[in-house]
Amino acid sequence: MRWIPLTLIAAAVAGTAASVVPTGLAAMDPEPAMAVPAHYPEPVTGGCGERIWTPQDAARLGRGGDALDTAELWQLALTNRDPMVAGNAVRSLGRRGEIGGARLGALLRDSRLRVRQEAVFALGRSRDPAVVDQLAQLLATGEPHLRLLAIGALGELGGDRAHALVAAQLAAPGATATEVAFARQALQSIATAGGAAARSRHGG
- Model's pTM, two decimal places? 0.70
Does residue 93 sit within a domain?
Answer: yes
Full residue range of the structural domain in which residue 196 is found: 1-28+128-204
Q: Taking Cα atoms as reference points, which of 156, 164, 162 lies closest to residue 23?
A: 156
pLDDT tens profile 74-92? 888 898 888 988 898 888 8
In terms of domains, do 111 and 149 share one? Answer: no
* pLDDT score at 25: 53
Tell me, what's the pLDDT at 60? 72
The H or E element spanning position 165 is: helix 160-171
Q: Would you say residue 165 lies in a domain?
A: yes
145 and 201 fall within a common domain: yes
Give per-10-residue mean pLDDT for the chain (204 aa).
44 49 49 36 48 70 69 87 88 81 84 92 85 90 88 93 94 90 94 62 55
Q: Is residue 180 part of a domain?
A: yes
H/E stretch holding 52: strand 51-52
43, part of any domain: no
If asked whether residues 118 and 132 sit together in one domain, one would say: no
Confidence (pLDDT) at 203: 61
Other Cβ atoms within 10 Å of 159 Cβ, number: 15
Q: Which residues contact 143 (CB under 8 A, 6 or more apart)?
A: 116
Instruction: Please tell me whether residues 177 and 148 are part of one structural domain.
Output: yes
Cβ contacts of 151 within 8 Å, gap of 6 or more: 139, 166, 169, 179, 182, 183, 186
